[in-house]
Structure 1
Amino acid sequence: MHLLDWIATYGAWAWVVGGVILLALELALPGGVFVWLGSAAVVTGLVSLVYPLDWAFEFAFFAVLALLAIFVWLRFFRHRIKPTDNPFLNQRASRFIGQELVLDEAITAGFGRVSLGDSVWRISGPDLPAGARIRIVGAEGAVLKVEQA
């Protein structure tokens, strides 16, 4: 009951402060829900500042706004794919798939190494001599899978 007393004492400002706290929680616990709950609370507080409302109606107004905001976010915006200029940013090995190159050292017992850019990568594939042409066909962690080209 302390929460209801606090809301009754501070009225609309309690909603604004609560909304700001929820928005700050979104920074610590990202997931996309607290931003909508916080926005609904801030809007409820601003509406309550302009039109004094009964506390029960404030809760109902907040609930409707929050549910509406979350529904709109889930339905229309959550799964929207954003184009990027660097699609392999945290998938460094994937950017090499499809490239063909010449082996610097032989693949023995299914594993070897190859220089790509400024790094040396571990590769797995059929045993091949140095100088053979290979094609990168996949990646598993930091190991590139290759086949003879």
Structure 2
Amino acid sequence: MDALIDLHAAQPYWIWLAIGVILLAIESAFSTEWLLWPAVAAGVVAVVTALGLPLGGFWGETALFAVLTVAATLMSRRLIQRVNPADSPDINARDSRLVGQRAQVVQAFVDGRGRVFVSGSEWIAEIEGAAPLAGESVIVEAMDGSKLKVRAV
């Protein structure tokens, strides 16, 4: 323990750099998205201590780390909400991503049923009204289980 205290007294940025790297390694292993900002905050504290700015010792460094962690976490939540609004479909919810997309008819519709190609795969599709021919485009309106409900363009 004395060696750690001596290292902090001589070169505190190594301690903060190690904390940042450990947090980043844990974040990389588990992908929690919660440890990224504390890792960044530890890196900033490491840079500040390496520059020799007076922080008042270990407790001042810890306070700066805490403030930076909270600030970065709160700002990241705002950034994530702006970049990925809640009204946009989830990338893993394939059905909601398909709605509104243009699909190409692969197999002509017979009695309102056919096959369409959209988002890299073929789907069974149902249509009401006039049935488009193979090669024409339709718009996906909804999903019903593994079937798409489409309308003519």
Normalising by structure 1, report the TM-score: 0.61
For 1:61 and 1:148, how far apart are their aligned partners in 2? 60
Distance 1:106 1:133 in 2: 8
* Aligned amino acid, residue 56 of structure 1: W
Query: Is the contact made by 1:40 and 1:65 (CA closer than 8 Å) also made in structure 2?
Result: yes
Confirm or deny that 1:143 pairs with 2:147: yes
Q: Report the AA paired with residue 5 of structure 2.
A: A
Q: Is the 8 A contact 2:37 2:73 kept in 1?
A: yes
Distance, in Å, in 2 between the alignment partners of 1:62 and 1:124 is 57
**CA drift at 1:101:** 5.3
Q: Please list the CA deviations of residues 10-31 of structure 1 after superposition, one character each: whole Å capped at 9, or x if unmatched.
A: 3221110110121233323335
Matched, 1:33 2:34: yes
Please state if 1:8 is matched with 2:5: yes
SS at match of 1:80: helix
Q: Which amino acid aligns with 2:143?
A: A
Runs of at least 4 residues off by over 6 Å: none
- Number of matched residues? 134
CA distance in 1, matches of 2:72, 2:122: 49
Which residue type is aligned with residue 125 of structure 2? I
Q: Which residue identity lines up with residue 145 of structure 1 in the other structure?
A: K
The answer to whether the aligner puts 1:133 opposite 2:131 as a matched pair is yes
Question: Which stretches in structure 1 are left out of the alignment for 5+ residues?
Answer: none
RMSD: 4.1
The amino acid that maps onto 2:7 is Y
Q: Which structure shows the higher strand fraction?
A: 2
* TM-score normalised by length of structure 2: 0.60
Secondary structure of 1:144's aligned partner: strand
Any unmatched runs of 5+ in structure 2? 133-137
